[in-house]
Structure 1
Amino acid sequence: MLCDKMRYNLPIAGIVLILILLFSMKTELSPNFDRTSLSAIAFGINTKTSASVLEYTLQAEAMIDLDPNTFRCEVHDMGCFILVPPSQKIFGKKHPKITDVKFDEETLITREICINSCFQKQYTLSAINAAQNCCMCSTGFEGFISSREIKADTSFVKAEKCRSSSTFHVYSKIRDCEKGVSKESLQQNRVGCLDIPKTLNQFMIALSSPQLLIEQCILNCEMRKYTFAIPVKQKGICLCSDSYSLFRTVDNMTQAMARCGDENNLSNSDEIVEVYRTTVNDEHCEPRRFLPPKQNKPILLASYPGSGNTWIRHLIEIATGIYTGSVYNDADLYEGDMLGGFLSAISGRTIVIKDHLFGLKISIIYTMAVLLIRNPYDATLAEFMRMNTQGHIGVANNDIFRKPGFKAFCKNQLPSFWFGITKVVLKTFVDKVVVVYFEDLVKNPIKEIRRIVEFLPKEIVGSDEESLERRLMCLNLDLAGKFKRPPRKLNSDPFDELLRGEVDKSIENMNELLLERNHPPLPHSYFYHIMNVT
């Protein structure tokens, strides 16, 4: 019987032998001889659609069956700091609640154990010192990593990029930890859809499983420290990748994010796969950093209040990887991860410095400027809302715009202050200014932030195109940030005709000034009311 099998398989063995001989002669036969195609022919596979997929399918490692209840925590990686003594005074805020988490001596405190322990106790920050096997929790940065005596940048530098034995790696909460991969997590972290990747590079891996589960694919990629998981259920393959290897450009990522569409079409497709973001922090995105002292000459980030200055700071920080500063020492923004807010404007350690130019005077310290402009009506409404909710994202009833205080506020702000900021910035900096419209930023944030980064000094932000694409991909996944107020609609016009006439005239005058200085014209929406009344 065994001999019968051998006789039956002999022709196949002969064919395989011939193919092997041909392969060994490939350099003589053709310099472009395709090994994958040869393998496909030998196994009767359609090379037109499956050859490149077969390549990494054959090389795939077996997927590990991980605990489906594995702890997973989504956090911002703030980097390493030296914790300040609790007795030190803090700036403008009561001392945060701080505690150290007690574990059994034999327990090895991992990142997830520390983070989950802190979050379960309603803390928003967790800090782990692996060398000391120690975990600390806090409700705020000030009094935890910084104080009046020790600023955040000093604490950051003393940590020696996580090399100091007294270093604590700090994480800021995005959402509560969970056991395993929940349906809600799958929905929140689905980035988009793309065609099945045909090839893998050295920064991607393939894992095989006869019964592929999306949850197991994500857990396996997280275990291997990859930021993206791509379950190729059609092939029983799980791909793990970083952002750049997968998308190459931020535009490709944007297309993938918009592609999934109809779920039924997706489930019936043999060529399209879903892409999921894991809980692994992308080292190209986080943590942000402080520049060395005096490295950067102060750059002004000017805007009329309510124009989205805080939001654009968030976008610039992610796109450059460098903290922004402010002249206002805003404790709420500091506790919202904007750790450059308490530094001196002349420290040279931040990339841009927020300044609303009250009094229409520009400090001589500034060397160039980013000018953010927003429709004056929308900006005034947003700023009045912020003042009446005591917060950057608070929302109140639209009735507040009917109060007498609103009209008084408008008279003090519009139109002279709104137009005045643009006039003084353009006059002071001439060609060392980039003008950005809030409305364009909302419509195409990646394009506008790319313009800003390309305007900033190359010796500070760098000139490597791949690095910029990576950071813009990070930005693409976190466009809103923590301080972008949701849009709202008004039932009536809160501005009277007299004020509107003055403001509309300022809009026309500002547009003429911008065009004279070779800047783009104001967005068409600024003139909508003017066209309706004339």
Structure 2
Amino acid sequence: MNKQIFSFVTVCIIMGLSYPFVRKHTVMSFGGCSRAVNVNQYKIVKERDLLELINTCSKDGVNLNGGKSNYDYLKRNLKNFNCSQSLRFLSAPRSLVALASFPGSGNTWTRQLIETATGYFTGSVYTDWNFVGSNECPSRRRVFIVKTHLTSNSSTSHRDCTRIYVAHLHFACAICILRNPYSAILAEFNRENSNNARAHFDPGHWVAPKQMFTTKRWRMFVSKQVNRWKNMALYWIQKNEPTYVLVYERLLENTFLEMSRLMTFLNITIQYDSLYCLSADDNRSFKRIIPHWMTINNVYSDELREIVNKAVQTVKIGIDSKLNLNGVLNSYFLPIENSSRQMQ
């Protein structure tokens, strides 16, 4: 009899059938990644289950971390996958949350991810043209995530805020986006000095001309902006209000997991189908296509590396070791070669 049961269960597994005492242990692993993403689609995201899902898909050769390849995989394998979401304003006010970053650190992409995950518009202390939520002063409390590049907990120059006589905001907590300063400063220099801001999908456009990186202007820009990067990081990370440090490189590497953790910080529950739709928000939509010569190694001389490395070290010393950011900050250091470097 035992042999018969064993044989029947074996046949069930081979044929993809369910057997009562087999099903309980095969929800995630039985059928692999394709079955797992379907089973979880309308469930509430919990980190432990998400890690199990990522591990299950990894065994199938699927790197479930967000991005275009994930979107294509999910579109092929999910029975019902619809990311045509209608965003909305808050129906009830929430405390304001600063989305603070040095320019060039992925604030725009992060806002889009947050809007997709939550279904709510995000706002800004500026009047940004590309987000509906930026048209209103945050003090109207119809948005709660508010973009800022300022080392200030309250200032705003928003046009609508001026109209209703609001000059200051109050953030109950903050999300601080931390990105490698070498990459962020280069991105901001390109934004300010591009030769064609409307053609950023072509290599060499929406980037600074090559000759500018050997000028005093570039050296002065790095010296000034690295202090701004340092001050942004220290101001927001050291604040008394709760602050979530969102590391850009981690977000890029594992979008699903990092956004799940961010939602936990914001005390927002989301379903896996919302998380899956993050894969449609490819950060490449916001990235310049840069020419082959424009690398960090090429454009930062030893002199500039010393300046940037010193700022990274200052931030490393100034923040709480409990934040577990030492490894990230250590990865930002560039070696000093003490030799002349010419652009290739």
For normalisation by structure 2, the TM-score amounts to 0.68
User: For residue 137 of structure 2, what is the amino acid of its counterpart?
Assistant: S
Counterpart CA distance in 1 for 2:233 and 2:98 is 13
2:87–2:119 Cα contact (<8 Å) kept: yes
Summarize the Cα distance change of 1:287–1:373 in structure 2 as closer, same or farther, 3 Å threshold: same
Shift in Å, 1:511:
0.6
1:65-144 equivalence runs, <5 A: none
User: For residue 529 of structure 1, what is the amino acid of its counterpart?
Assistant: P
User: For residue 133 of structure 2, what is the amino acid of its counterpart?
Assistant: G
Counterpart CA distance in 2 for 1:508 and 1:349 is 39
Shift in Å, 1:448:
1.9
Aligned to 2:229: 418
Summarize the Cα distance change of 1:241–1:469 in structure 2 as closer, same or farther, 3 Å threshold: closer
Shift in Å, 1:412:
3.4
Summarize the Cα distance change of 1:229–1:361 in structure 2 as closer, same or farther, 3 Å threshold: closer
Counterpart CA distance in 1 for 2:303 and 2:233 is 23
Aligned with residue 438 of structure 1, among 237, 242, 248: 248
User: For residue 361 of structure 1, what is the amino acid of its counterpart?
Assistant: S
Aligned with residue 330 of structure 2, among 496, 515, 524: 524
User: For residue 442 of structure 1, what is the amino acid of its counterpart?
Assistant: L
Aligned to 1:478: 280
**Per-residue Cα deviation, 1:482-530 (whole angstroms, up to 9, x for no partner):** 7331675535522333332222111101011123674532343212425
Shift in Å, 1:365:
1.8
Summarize the Cα distance change of 1:437–1:480 in structure 2 as closer, same or farther, 3 Å threshold: same
Which SS does the other structure have where 1:370 is aligned?
strand
Shift in Å, 1:481:
5.0
Summarize the Cα distance change of 1:507–1:395 in structure 2 as closer, same or farther, 3 Å threshold: farther
Shift in Å, 1:242:
7.4
Shift in Å, 1:425:
1.8
Q: For structure 2, list consecutive stretches of 5 or more residues without a partner in the other structure.
A: 19-28, 63-73, 155-168, 339-344
Shift in Å, 1:374:
0.9
User: For residue 474 of structure 1, what is the amino acid of its counterpart?
Assistant: C
Which SS does the other structure have where 2:300 is aligned?
coil
Shift in Å, 1:408:
4.2
Summarize the Cα distance change of 1:451–1:250 in structure 2 as closer, same or farther, 3 Å threshold: closer
Say whether residues 1:276 and 2:76 are aligned partners: yes
Higher relative contact order (CA 8 A, sep 6+): 2
**Per-residue Cα deviation, 1:117-140 (whole angstroms, up to 9, x for no partner):** xxxxxxxxxxxxxxxxxxxxxxxx
Counterpart CA distance in 1 for 2:17 and 2:79 is 28
User: For residue 343 of structure 1, what is the amino acid of its counterpart?
Assistant: E
Counterpart CA distance in 2 for 1:525 and 1:297 is 34
Aligned to 1:498: 303
Say whether residues 1:306 and 2:104 are aligned partners: yes
Shift in Å, 1:468:
4.0
1:307–1:373 Cα contact (<8 Å) kept: yes
1:288–1:321 Cα contact (<8 Å) kept: yes
User: For residue 10 of structure 2, what is the amino acid of its counterpart?
Assistant: T
Say whether residues 1:375 and 2:180 are aligned partners: yes
Summarize the Cα distance change of 1:277–1:286 in structure 2 as closer, same or farther, 3 Å threshold: farther
Aligned to 1:355: 148
**Per-residue Cα deviation, 1:340-365 (whole angstroms, up to 9, x for no partner):** 222212122224111111xx333142
Which SS does the other structure have where 1:288 is aligned?
coil
Shift in Å, 1:432:
0.9
Counterpart CA distance in 1 for 2:307 and 2:235 is 19
Summarize the Cα distance change of 1:396–1:329 in structure 2 as closer, same or farther, 3 Å threshold: farther
Shift in Å, 1:46:
4.7
Counterpart CA distance in 2 for 1:328 and 1:440 is 27
Counterpart CA distance in 1 for 2:277 and 2:34 is 16
What's the RMSD between the two structures over aligned residues?
4.1
2:40–2:272 Cα contact (<8 Å) kept: no
Shift in Å, 1:437:
1.5
User: For residue 421 of structure 1, what is the amino acid of its counterpart?
Assistant: M
Aligned to 2:162: none
Counterpart CA distance in 2 for 1:495 and 1:54 is 57
**Per-residue Cα deviation, 1:51-80 (whole angstroms, up to 9, x for no partner):** 375768xxxxxxxxxxxxxxxxxxxxxxxx
Which SS does the other structure have where 2:221 is aligned?
helix
Aligned to 1:287: 86
For normalisation by structure 1, the TM-score amounts to 0.46
**Per-residue Cα deviation, 1:135-164 (whole angstroms, up to 9, x for no partner):** xxxxxxxxxxxxxxxxxxxxxxxxxxxxxx
1:395-406 equivalence runs, <5 A: 396-397=203-204, 400-403=209-212, 404=215, 405-406=217-218
Say whether residues 1:451 and 2:261 are aligned partners: yes
Aligned to 2:314: 509
Aligned to 1:25: none
Summarize the Cα distance change of 1:432–1:493 in structure 2 as closer, same or farther, 3 Å threshold: same
Aligned with residue 137 of structure 2, among 344, 347, 359: 344
Shift in Å, 1:326:
1.8
% identical equivalent positions? 24
2:316–2:329 Cα contact (<8 Å) kept: no
Counterpart CA distance in 2 for 1:506 and 1:449 is 28
Counterpart CA distance in 1 for 2:241 and 2:263 is 16
Which SS does the other structure have where 1:276 is aligned?
helix
Aligned to 2:165: none
User: For residue 330 of structure 2, what is the amino acid of its counterpart?
Assistant: H
Counterpart CA distance in 2 for 1:54 and 1:515 is 51
Counterpart CA distance in 1 for 2:202 and 2:335 is 25
1:250-269 equivalence runs, <5 A: 250-251=50-51, 253-255=53-55, 257-258=57-58
Q: How many residues align?
A: 289
Q: For structure 1, list consecutive stretches of 5 or more residues without a partner in the other structure.
A: 1-36, 57-193, 198-227, 231-239, 263-273
